[in-house]
Amino acid sequence: MSTLNNDTLVIAIDGPSGSGKSSVSKAVARELGAVYLDTGAMYRAITYSVLDAGTDLTDAHAIAQAVRDAQLQISVDPDAELVKIGGVDVTQAIREPRISEQVSAVATNLDARAELVRRQQEIIKANTRIVAEGRDITTVVAPDADARILLTASEEARLRRRGLQLGGSQNDSQLANQVLARDAKDSTVVNFTQAADGVMTVDSSDLDFEQTIAAVLDAINTATKN
Ligand code: DC
């Protein structure tokens, strides 16, 4: 399998928040002439919509039903981010701290996960070359992917990156809540802190953006070499 021609190619990338997954995965997709699927955006869009509808976040049945009913559209163009739910453009809104703080209510709902995994697998199937990133892509959504990578980074590096991304608008405890507390909650249903069998780990703690992209492309080349 070559990563450079038009063969089918599925790349699965998992990692905790602040590991640089999204920006690195987008850049890798561009490099490989592939589309890009941000599965976290799907969890975020559902969270936006249940909050908007005033649904009680502790009502697991209501959340599961909301996912099954959701009219969810997501762009897979790495250069054109677009997420719509019920026809409403929520591309920007799903990045707000209030969503980051509450998204675990959806991510830890097993029925909601099953439905989102099903939709993610459909999107992967519909595209010839795709880089999909999230928390359970290497293990649940695409365990047969051509390359499976866990992108990690130290706690310190992750907090620093997320803080920069949010433009210094969050204090230390808000940041820790959005990064570490969220990961701790999400870890109760998916393992994205240790690489599963056959999954390669790329640690980006001491790498800059370009170096991380190069390390991920390297791992993909190794995994896809005949
Ligand atoms: O990557 P992100 O921060 O946009 O993800 C948002 C939330 O969705 C995060 O709390 C974990 C969850 N998530 C998940 O459980 N499984 C995925 N495949 C992707 C995201």
pLDDT tens digits, one per residue of 91-118: 999 999 899 989 999 999 999 999 999 9
Q: Whole-angstrom Cα distance, residue 215 to residue 173?
A: 32
pLDDT at 2 over 70: no
192 lines ligand 1 (CB under 6 A): no
As a whole number, mean pLDDT of residues 14-28 equals: 93
pTM: 0.92
Provide the pairing of β-strand 147-152 with 129-134: unpaired
More confident residue, 191 or 83: 83
In testing the pocket of ligand 1, which one of 37, 38, 42, 43 has its CB within 8 Å of the most ligand atoms?
A: 43
Across the range 143-171, mean pLDDT stands at 89
Whether 32 has a pLDDT exceeding 90, the answer reads yes
Cα 102–108–112 angle (5° rounding)? 100
- Six-digit token pair at 119? 């939709």
pLDDT confidence tier of residue 3, bands split at 50, 70 and 90:
low
Is 170 near ligand 1, meaning CB less than 6 Å away? no
Q: State whether the beta carbon of 44 lies less than 6 angstroms from ligand 1.
A: yes
For residue 89, what are its two tokens?
A: 């453009």
The residue-averaged pLDDT of 149-153 equals 95
**pLDDT (mean) for 177-193:** 83
Assigned CATH class of 9-223: alpha beta
Calpha distance 197→224 (Å, rounded): 16
Ligand 1 centroid, distance to 40 Cα (angstroms): 4
